[in-house]
Structure formats: structure tokens, C-alpha cells
Amino acid sequence: MKQSVFIPVMGKDFEIYYFNKKYYSEDRLRKYNESAEEFSQLETLFRLHSHDVYEFLVFLGGECEFFCEGKTYFLKRGDVVVIPPYAVHEANVKDINQYERIILTVSGHIMADFASSSPTLKENMINQKTQGSFVLHLHTKNFQEVTSLFHDLIKRIKNDNENLSFTFHYILFQALQIIFHPESSMANLSSKDQLDQRFSAILDYIETHLTEPDLSLEKVSNHFHLNKYYFSHYFKKNMNLPFYRYVSLKRLSFSVTLIKQNQYSIETIAMKCGFPDYSSFYRLFKKEYNLSPKNLQKEYKN
């Protein structure tokens, strides 16, 4: 079974990456993208992982089967994948040399700022979430506008115009307005994308009760009147992860966000994230991220 990984985005309000067979990253772009080291380790992006930020994958070419929270999509040029924070996802690519895409990560507070400054954008973001699809297929004209804005943004960053933060944010804001506008796209639905209503309800239940220490396979299976052995198989088949692994990954992702905020002790964070005790939290954290939670806290303090 593929291991999952969490990739925390460091520092920046947003980071942008352009990948194709000729170009992965240039020094100037890597200088801006403080998480470039993690993104340069491409193998981590092709197994189940999550982020504490919004991620947008603009698909430009190649063959890619994209999995996100129990749904599978066969991407085609013009697709934009909208991945919310903590969503477990992976890309299965047939030929990495033909896989071309732009990846954008945006912090939650910038997304909130954009939404608060534009009621229309906020309404469109909510509407997109209720559609039940993580992939939007932009109409040709809208797709060209978005890619043009992102290439302009990349060009400005490569030219070391880091002092133009307002310009960067304005270009990003324009692109997100197009992506989320309902008239710009249609939902990308494939035959494998139809997530059954019961499993969708199960994921919603887990999300609602995630930080409760008594959230267990038996509790969830009983709530949905399912045999726990059947439920265990059913969940793993749909999510590509065992139930406890999925819950643990979600909780650990949430703990990283709290660590970055630097408002609570590590022990308090463990309790707030639903772990039964600090020792189990420490053990799982160290195994997942290959460093201790306190060492990560020190990095953010520094």
C-alpha cells in the first residue's frame, strides 16, 4: 500500500509551480516558492498526500488519473482541480514526461481575504463546493485566460519582482474569479466519479466528528448500521486507505496547522486534534513526517 504524506506549505501566501518535460523549476522561481524542496521531490506528489492549503492543479497535457477523497477523475486539457485543505489526494500519471501542469497553492487566510472582499467570489466558491466535484472543466476562452494570468505571474516572479506583492495578489485574484465563476466551466464528471451517497455521508460524518477522541471504526459503522468488517473493507475500497489511516492523516494535518499558528502547547494540540494521549500523537506524527512535533514547532518559531 502506498504511504500517504503531508506537505506543509511554508511561509508564503501562495506558491506557484509550472511543470513539463523541459521545465520543472528555475532558481528564481524556487527562491520565491519556499516549499520548492518538497515539490521537487516529485515522488511524494504521486502517492496519497494532503496539504494545509488550497491547491489548484491546472491540467495542460498528458494522461492523468486523479484521485481525491473517494472520487476518481480522468483529467483532460482544460481541467482545473480544486483541492481544499486536508483533502487526501494523488495523481496517477501514465508518462511523467508528457505530464504538463501548473500547480498553485494558496493559504486559507488569503482565500478568506479574497472571499470577504468579493461577495460574488465567496458565493461562487460555496456554489463550487456544493457541486460535489473537485474538477472543473473550463471553457476554452476561460482556460486560456487563466493560463495566461498564471504564466504572467510566473514571469513576474522569475524577474525577481518580489516587491510587487499587490500585483501578484491581484493577478491571483483575477484567476480565481474566473475559475470559480459558474459560467466559466462545467463540472468534469466521469464514470468513475460518481461517489455513492452513503460514502459521501460517511466522509461528512468523519469530518464533523474528526476531533472527538471516541471517533472509531466501530462507532461510524454503527451509526450507518453497517457490519464493522464490511465497513472496513468498504471504506478502504473507496478511499484507497484504511479507516484509521485516513482519520490519523486528517488529524495530523490539522495538528500541523495548529503548530504553525503557535498558540498552543504540543500537548494541548494533541488533545484538540482528537488524539487520546500525547504519546500516541507523538508516535504517529514522528512516523508520518519524520520529525517530532516540537521540532516542527521550533522551525516555525525560528
Choosing among 1.10.357.10, 3.60.15.10, 3.20.190.10, 1.10.10.60, the CATH entry for 197-301 is 1.10.10.60
- Domain ranges across the chain: 5-187, 197-301
Q: Could you report the per-residue pLDDT of 222-253, keeping only the tens digit for each?
A: 999 999 999 999 999 888 889 998 998 889 88
Q: Which residues pair with 83 in a beta bridge?
A: 55
Q: Which pLDDT value is given to residue 133? A: 86
Instruction: Determine the pLDDT at residue 165.
Output: 81
Question: What are 172-214's pLDDT values in tens digits?
Answer: 999 999 999 989 887 554 545 455 788 888 988 998 999 999 9
If one compares 271 and 3, the residue with the highest pLDDT of the two is 271
Q: pLDDT digits over 26-41, tens only?
A: 444 555 555 544 544 4
Q: What is the pTM of this model?
A: 0.76
Name which residue leads in pLDDT, 223 or 8.
Answer: 223
Closest to 185 in 3D by CA, of 150, 142, 146:
142
With a CB cutoff of 8 Å and minimum separation 6, the contacts of 88 are: 4, 48, 49, 50, 68, 69, 239, 241, 246, 249, 250
Residue 181: the pLDDT is 93
CA distances for 271 relative to 11, 213, 215, 218, 279, angstroms: 25, 8, 13, 21, 11
Task: Count CB neighbours of 119 within 10 A.
Answer: 9
The C-alpha cell at 31 is 527562491
C-alpha cell at 109: 487566510
Domains 5-187 and 197-301 share a fold: no
Structural class in CATH, domain 5-187? mainly beta
